[in-house]
Amino acid sequence: MLLLTSPRIREHEITDRSVYLDRRRFLALGAAGALAMAALPARAAPLAAAKSGFTLAETLTTKEAVTGYNNFIELGNSKEAPAQLGPAYFRPQPWSVSVDGECAKPGTIAFEDLVSPHKLEERIYRMRCVEAWSMVIPWIGIPLADVIKRFEPNSKAKYVEFNTLVDPERLPGQRFSMYDWPYVEALRLDEAMNPLALLAVGLYGEELRPQNGAPIRLVVPWKYGFKSVKSIVRIRFTETAPRTTWMRIAPKEYGFYANVNPEVDHPRWSQGSERRIGEFLRRKTLPFNGYAEQVAGLYSSLDLVANF
């Protein structure tokens, strides 16, 4: 995410010195990762899924861009680093997810047992990053609502929080003190139960690669991409709104709801238009990223300008 850099100001001028030095060391790690990766196959296992009604008459972003231009700060700060470091460092097996908080069925569940009761489906969604670029991605996944129902959230559960793995061996960005790990994101429970919300386990007919959040990540297509937390190891039901990673880091720049909204600019750039990766001309950004019909009703009592 664009947090500390600007085209005119050099990073070390606006960044705490220890953070800046951490980043320099991290860039060196990126070079080492690229070398290590040269020895690894750049393939992912095939994954079959039924087509679904969630589709778009828009050109898909190429697989090369979807798997090569990423935001995953635990695997590096450039768009290229996650694809370079991920295959070298990150093994998503074995994997389990713990479920706790306000629910009747807490516990720890193996990734395979979490996913196998559900039918995998392919869904083509737009993804709009808060940095004002977008993609169209053929995800494979399972409806978040169906997974949540299995844990039986109780009447106190109003929100659901998701945490990314903390393991500096596998996610080497966590060796540096830049952020307070884990990466945390959350939804209001009714948002999470909306049929559009997906837990993705693959894309483009293959299992998720490390850089895209293997083995399981959230996809919430009407919100800015930073809500779609990667490599999930914990799901927690809460009564009060969790403090999410970007709200902690830059509360004036990133809000809890983060619904795509061309009317509410980021404090440092416009959200009125976007660059679709692979296209030359900019596109107008659509309210709720084009999903207003499905989700606008969730927010009828909210002032979205105030609650960005």
Interface with ligand MTE by CB under 6 A: which residues?
Answer: 1, 70-74, 129, 164, 183, 212-213, 225-226, 228-230
φ, ψ of residue 189 to 5 degrees: the values are -60, -35
The three state secondary structure string of the chain is CCCCCCCCCCHHHHCCHHHHHHHHHHHHHHHHHHHHHCCCCCCCCECCCEECCCCCCCCCCCHHHHHHCCCCHHHCCCCCHHHHHHHHHCCCCCCEEEEEECECCCEEEEHHHHHCCCCCEEEEEEEECCCCEEEEEEEEEEEHHHHHHHHCECCCCCEEEEEECCCCCCCHHHHCCCCCCCCEEEEEHHHHCCCCCEEEEEECCEECCHHHCCCCEEECCCECHHHCCCCEEEEEEECCCCCCHHHHHCCCCCCCCCECCCCCCECCECCCEEEECCCCCCEECCHHHHCHHHHHHHHCCCCCCCCC
Residue number, 6 or 154, with CB nearest to ligand MTE: 6
Residue number, 239 or 265, with CB nearest to ligand MTE: 265
Minimal distance in Å, beta carbon 286 to ligand MTE?
Answer: 17
Residue number, 164 or 238, with CB nearest to ligand MTE: 164
Residue number, 129 or 247, with CB nearest to ligand MTE: 129
Residue number, 74 or 122, with CB nearest to ligand MTE: 74
Tokens (6 digits) for 153: 């959230």
Minimal distance in Å, beta carbon 207 to ligand MTE?
Answer: 13
Minimal distance in Å, beta carbon 226 to ligand MTE?
Answer: 4
Residue number, 84 or 102, with CB nearest to ligand MTE: 84
Minimal distance in Å, beta carbon 130 to ligand MTE?
Answer: 7
Residue number, 26 or 102, with CB nearest to ligand MTE: 26
Give the nearest residue (CB) to ligand MTE. 225
